[in-house]
Structure 1
Amino acid sequence: MSAGGSSSPRVIIRPSQPSESVYRSRPTKALDAFQGAFAGYLACTISLEQFRAVVAECVDDTYELAKVFGNSIAAAFSAHCVPPEDYRVLQADLANLPRHKRARRESERSSRALRGRFLIQKRVAVGGVGILYRALDRRREELGYDNAMVAIKMLGEQLRRSPEALRSLQCEVRNARRLDHPNIRKVFELDRCRAGYFITMEWLEGESLAIRLDRTGSRAMPAPAAFAILAEIAAGLMHAHERGIVHGDMKPGNVFVTTEGRVKLLDFGQAYSFGATPGLPAGPAISPAYASCELHEGARPEFSDDIFALAVMAYRMLAGARPFGRYSPPKAEEAGIRVLRPAGLDERQWRMLQRGLAWRREDRPLSVREFIHGILPHPAPERQPGKENLHVAA
């Protein structure tokens, strides 16, 4: 029976003492509070929930105190003074509390730092480079914009002193100034606060193509929806290519479908720009399933590599599976994998899809325009990627 339901006291075990280094680095007030509450819990003078509340208050955003508390609880459990169900609950608390407190501190620090203009509403996601927040831009609100919400990408704590991470943000803003297209997410500006550098971007409601494909599983998307999405991806890519910018990391996770059915390309932060300033990133970290053989070999991204990734996404949508299965493109080439024709494609469409999936650049279509013209049905579909019940935002 848990502490809340037991009336007879348990044998009281004095909580294990932390090392002197912990005492030096953490206030003893939290340790004293824990020890007093633990003794009360073991004596059944306070309930499990009351003890959990004290533990939650005492644990900080590191794992030092959580480890000390966990050792004390484990010793009492070994002495049969803590019921198994209580022990599992308490250990789960101690495993999760530091992480949750760290996330809360991060959000609060960002909110305080950006309070002058941006009111942080929630943390949306954590990526490889930064943390994404949803925020109200009070300046846009004052100026009467229909939508004053913005997305804020802030460098993560471990990357705030990284010159490469800062250059990635600078590159994303620099590229955005050359890209103005309804199928590319708008990036507004680069700024800094006490918490570090951040960029503000267009806020989007909807979901990524990756989430949509995960939901369909091994089933192909309806052809009209797949072709409509492909047409909009191609439109955004053509705009970038015409301005000398290669995305270099095209994949479903960087394609967003809004609740209105508009497709947006994301994350030009490490895109390669022909004629770029020396010292800027030469190319992105690749996504193995969608990266061409040349990118796997370390070559600089070219327009053809975006076409290859677009062809892989097209196959995934139309066939319900990746063209090379579990193999990366280089491994598939080495193994002599033959790509099967998706149902519903005529000869013209299939030939163009095969060219887009060619192992080598010289065998692929010369442009996104050529590829999309050859794979879309005639006449091309109207823009209707689908207005499903979307719930994820970015």
Structure 2
Amino acid sequence: MHEDNDATRVAPVGGARRDHDDDRTIVKPVSDAPSTRTGTGTQSGSVGTSEAWERLATLAPGESPTVGTVLKGRFFLERELGRGGMGVVFLARDERKVEARDRDPYVAVKVLNDQFRKHPDSLIALQREARRAQQFANDHIVRVYDFDKDGSNVFMTMEYVEGSDLRALMRSRGRDGLPFAEAWPLIEGMAAALQRAHEAGVVHSDFKPGNVMVTAAGVAKVFDFGIARAGHVARDGNVPRNGHDDETVFDAGTLGAMTPAYASLAMLRGEPPAPADDVYAFGCVVAELLTGHHPFGKKTAEEALSAGLKPPVVPGLDKRQQKALADALAVTAERRTADIATVLAGLRRRRLRERATPWVAAAVVAGVVATGGVWYASHRAEQQHVADTLRRFDPGQPDAFTGEDQVRQGLGSLTGDERRRVVVDGADTIDGFLVRQLAAHWDPAKGRLDYAGAERTFALRAELKTFAPKFDRRRDEVMHEREDQLNRLDTALSEAILAGRLFGDAADDVPAILGRIRSVDPTSRLLANPELELKFGMAVEASQKQGDTAAAEKQLAIARTWFPASNRLAAIAETLKGPAPATSAAVPMPPPTQDGTDLAIAERTSRLESLRHASAAGDLDKALASFRALNAGATAPPPADDEAAGLLAQAALAAARNACAAGRWKDAAASIQTALDATGERTDLRRAKTRYDLAVAVMNAAKAPSVTSAEQDDLSKRLQAARQDDAAGMKDMEAAMVASKGLPEGTLDNVLKKLRATATAGPVAGTPRDPCARKGLAGTTRECFDTFAVGAYGPAMVVIPNGRKPFAMMRTEATVANLDQFCRATRTCAINRGQNANDPARSIPVDFARRYAAWLTQISGHVYRLPTEQEWLTAARGGANWAGDGDACGEASSALGRLIHSPELGPATGKANPWGLVGVTGGVWEWVTRGSALAVRGGSFRSGPAQCSVDATRASDGTADRDVGFRLVREIR
């Protein structure tokens, strides 16, 4: 197998070497690099984004993604396409596109390796470049979709292109290069890509044959914009020399990367990037494409300058073309052509009339100048139109767009080219506008439930055909929230009808609830609730019988507002008018309701509608209650085609899928069993029960101390049978398990393979099963933490000495970020937006803290729980009579922000206790257990000095309190 000498390579930080090892890249220590940071951010980015990438760089490496891994619960890695020093490229299936039945659900995913991830400035700059690359599009550029992270894994999603890279194409054609006529379409395509990037202010900085894909149709597509220019290269001009001169050199000390053989002199000397750098690389690639050889024999520009090398004469090019190529290959920037367009114009072969004598050209100079003036004016006007339109998407502008129709009018005044430029160049701006516009219509937290308005924004996004990932994610959330709102409103309506609140004007009365339903869905069948129509009529008739005509008329007016086409209400209206004239047409009176038949039918119809909404929202408890009410008194299971049974099955399957995605396999199986008990045997539920029971069995086996060969064989046979009988269901379940981070192996089969391998090989020497059980860790303040799956970690713990039975305790109180991780994984809760992620979690009940501990226990295999009072005191005192941060408490009552926990500094005092616990006192009170009772200890940020010590305590009933939080203990095996 030949050495891949065009790969981007990253070497670990270490001492520099200057030798002739062909495969070694010299790397300088990080400390040698000039710092570009200011404060907590960087010179080029927002503080929030910079801090996020810097925190990511400090994470311990997780397991590297492999084939079968699902990133972000969305991208399933099917096969490896290639690998280099900066990472691995996979062919990935976008499961969201699969759900939408997209014909082409495949993307390319480039996962960056840990060496690259360890440099936050590189990540920040690369994220900026990826974002800018999203904003320009061209048929000759591989489209960048997103730059994201999953735990500690950083990746980019890109357009998947079938074909081979230009380097492989040139190798396959031998060493004489391609004829000019065959090479020209590739040259023109590469130039178009670079020119489009330069217009958008992006310099490639690592243009080379390995970064150009050639499709089966012969179209050149350039990729990896910004990968190399993730930082600035060293300014001392020292570039490692080795036998593989087309390798991309990554300097971990200066966060720069380049391929020496294609790098300009300015790049080698560490000067800022410029389009002229790409011109030099483009000239090298064109010469290599036409001759089969690098123009300077793979020597760097600096070596070519020192040796006085000149570009070779390329056979088949005329003098004008030869000069254009030589000017592009000029080593010094002063002599080099400044832009790609000029190089391309010089390389283009002239037709016969273009080679006419100079005096013919002179004769038309005046016309050309005049035409050029007209073109320039037109071009300037087009640029102004585009800029003005994009400006109006900014909410701070006086003439900003305020609605979908205004956007349509604004875009309607543009030409086709102008509109395309607005949509492509302003993708991020338009994405933000759409998100804001959607929020103006739909935001349940702020009482905005105008779903019809939200649909108008959906329609605008479809018309624009723009790249709007933020909006698309929010749209999916809104559609789920709508189902949830309708389910809640259905429950509220049923309760209001049952309580007889038919005509009031309070928020929980029927008219107000109907108004909210109409806002969420003007066509909802809840607005035609037959039970409500009937009870409206019965209430009006009751008032009429009591002789209260005024009340009856008022009630009737309200009822007919919601049921204007009701024959029953129309007939009641006629009776309120008095006897009808003999000649008038009488409104047909509905059958009487005294026997309750109509009411029973109406109530059944309403319950069935409630079941539909519960099923759509995945509300199994409500679906089960509605189903039981519908089948009260039934003596036999419902038939297989019974609608109510089918709706309950759907609710159970949805609840099981959500539980599985949260890592709760047993709850998933229990949900299916509940539905089976209610409906009797159903094929869909029986298959689901089989697969979830199988998941529980396999995952329990993976955590068991030992599993016999017979048990493993039995599980293997059950897996094989389940895949034959229920392939789609098994695939769906395993995808949910992978998304929960609970199945890093990708499939249950891989879990069994790992189990067999472990049983055969035995424990790996020097690799403790419990990261907190390492010898000498207790009492040292050093942290330990559990690794859940690829890129997912548990809270930081310190080990507390406790005789023969040490235990681990969370270093800080549980933070907002800790609980947000739990809520995102389980989808059973949501953290309020706007809270500082590092703040102690508070205003939550103790049951929530215990659910968090149970989740940690399930996914880690170690027992997490609230500390006993004695454990808390042992840990808080730190082996001595330590008073904690009592002096800070009296000063901290004005702001919790002064006591935000920092992993490095602890509370505002910058002090941790002798065993490494931060904020034991003065942050929030912390729950401890006293047998079956609860108490809190340590004082809070509102406590005075008297209640701000390790010894401070009071009783607690476990209800939510803004002054109370918690930290957990983890048992050590």
TM-score (norm 2): 0.26
Say whether the 8 Å CA contact 2:119–2:255 is kept in structure 1.
no
* CA RMSD in angstroms, aligned pairs only: 2.5
Pick the aligned partner of 2:283 from 275, 297, 311. Answer: 311
The 5-angstrom pairing of residues 92-241 of structure 1 reads 106-108=64-66, 111-114=68-71, 116-167=73-124, 169-194=126-151, 196-241=153-198
Say whether the 8 Å CA contact 1:113–1:195 is kept in structure 2.
no
Task: Report what 2:643 is aligned to.
Answer: none
User: What do the CA deviations read for 1:280-332 (whole angstroms, capped 9, x no partner)?
Assistant: x9985121111112212221221111111111111111122111124222111
Alignment of 1:297 with 2:264, yes or no, is no
The 1:244/1:115 distance shift into structure 2, 3 A limit, reads closer
Give the drift of 1:356.
0.7
The 1:129/1:168 distance shift into structure 2, 3 A limit, reads farther
The 5-angstrom pairing of residues 5-154 of structure 1 reads 106-108=64-66, 111-114=68-71, 116-154=73-111
Secondary structure in structure 2 of the residue aligned to 1:285: strand
Alignment of 1:363 with 2:320, yes or no, is no
Secondary structure in structure 1 of the residue aligned to 2:260: coil
Distance 2:194 2:72 in 1: 36
Distance 1:158 1:325 in 2: 31
Secondary structure in structure 1 of the residue aligned to 2:107: strand
Say whether the 8 Å CA contact 1:249–1:284 is kept in structure 2.
no
Alignment of 1:331 with 2:303, yes or no, is yes
Distance 1:371 1:158 in 2: 37
User: What do the CA deviations read for 1:260-299 (whole angstroms, capped 9, x no partner)?
Assistant: 22211111134669xxxxxxx9985121111112212221
Distance 2:143 2:100 in 1: 18
The one-letter code sitting in structure 1 at the alignment partner of 2:176 is R
Distance 1:243 1:271 in 2: 17
Give the drift of 1:166.
2.5
Distance 1:163 1:115 in 2: 21
User: What do the CA deviations read for 1:155-211 (whole angstroms, capped 9, x no partner)?
Assistant: 224444431452354134212222211111111112322452222111111111111
The one-letter code sitting in structure 1 at the alignment partner of 2:74 is R
My pick for the range that moved more, 215-224 or 310-319, is 215-224
Secondary structure in structure 2 of the residue aligned to 1:224: helix
The one-letter code sitting in structure 1 at the alignment partner of 2:199 is E
The structure with the larger Rg is 2
Task: Report what 1:347 is aligned to.
Answer: 319
Say whether the 8 Å CA contact 1:234–1:368 is kept in structure 2.
yes
The one-letter code sitting in structure 1 at the alignment partner of 2:291 is A
User: What do the CA deviations read for 1:323-343 (whole angstroms, capped 9, x no partner)?
Assistant: 112422211111112332111
The 1:165/1:282 distance shift into structure 2, 3 A limit, reads closer
User: What do the CA deviations read for 1:326-372 (whole angstroms, capped 9, x no partner)?
Assistant: 42221111111233211100011011111111121121223211110
Say whether the 8 Å CA contact 1:271–1:283 is kept in structure 2.
no
The 1:196/1:222 distance shift into structure 2, 3 A limit, reads same
User: What do the CA deviations read for 1:224-249 (whole angstroms, capped 9, x no partner)?
Assistant: 22111110000011111111111111
User: What do the CA deviations read for 1:115-167 (whole angstroms, capped 9, x no partner)?
Assistant: 83222111222222222111111212233433111111112244444314523
The 1:191/1:337 distance shift into structure 2, 3 A limit, reads closer
Distance 2:221 2:256 in 1: 19
Say whether the 8 Å CA contact 1:124–1:134 is kept in structure 2.
yes
The 1:328/1:159 distance shift into structure 2, 3 A limit, reads closer
Distance 1:350 1:341 in 2: 7
Task: Report what 2:292 is aligned to.
Answer: 320
Say whether the 8 Å CA contact 1:271–1:284 is kept in structure 2.
yes
Give the drift of 1:251.
0.7
The one-letter code sitting in structure 1 at the alignment partner of 2:325 is L
Distance 2:131 2:254 in 1: 14
Say whether the 8 Å CA contact 2:214–2:221 is kept in structure 1.
yes
Secondary structure in structure 2 of the residue aligned to 1:139: helix
User: What do the CA deviations read for 1:87-121 (whole angstroms, capped 9, x no partner)?
Assistant: xxxxxxxxxxxxxxxxxx7444x734428322211
Secondary structure in structure 1 of the residue aligned to 2:257: coil
User: What do the CA deviations read for 1:51-94 (whole angstroms, capped 9, x no partner)?
Assistant: xxxxxxxxxxxxxxxxxxxxxxxxxxxxxxxxxxxxxxxxxxxx
The one-letter code sitting in structure 2 at the alignment partner of 1:212 is L
The one-letter code sitting in structure 2 at the alignment partner of 1:330 is E
Task: Report what 2:540 is aligned to.
Answer: none
Secondary structure in structure 2 of the residue aligned to 1:363: coil
Say whether the 8 Å CA contact 1:123–1:134 is kept in structure 2.
yes
Distance 2:132 2:228 in 1: 8
Say whether the 8 Å CA contact 2:190–2:220 is kept in structure 1.
yes
The one-letter code sitting in structure 2 at the alignment partner of 1:121 is E
Task: Report what 2:433 is aligned to.
Answer: none
Secondary structure in structure 1 of the residue aligned to 2:262: coil
Distance 2:69 2:186 in 1: 39
Distance 2:255 2:174 in 1: 31
Gaps of 5+ in 2: 1-62, 231-252, 352-973
Distance 1:244 1:184 in 2: 15
The 1:271/1:196 distance shift into structure 2, 3 A limit, reads closer
Say whether the 8 Å CA contact 1:283–1:300 is kept in structure 2.
no
Say whether the 8 Å CA contact 1:233–1:263 is kept in structure 2.
yes
Say whether the 8 Å CA contact 1:270–1:284 is kept in structure 2.
no
Distance 2:119 2:277 in 1: 28
Pick the aligned partner of 2:217 from 260, 272, 278. Answer: 260
Aligned pair count reads 268
Say whether the 8 Å CA contact 2:203–2:226 is kept in structure 1.
no
Say whether the 8 Å CA contact 1:357–1:364 is kept in structure 2.
yes
My pick for the range that moved more, 187-196 or 133-142, is 187-196
Secondary structure in structure 2 of the residue aligned to 1:181: coil
Secondary structure in structure 1 of the residue aligned to 2:330: coil
The one-letter code sitting in structure 1 at the alignment partner of 2:294 is R
The 1:196/1:318 distance shift into structure 2, 3 A limit, reads same
Say whether the 8 Å CA contact 1:107–1:123 is kept in structure 2.
no
Say whether the 8 Å CA contact 1:282–1:300 is kept in structure 2.
no
Alignment of 1:288 with 2:265, yes or no, is no
My pick for the range that moved more, 131-140 or 160-169, is 160-169
The 1:308/1:159 distance shift into structure 2, 3 A limit, reads closer
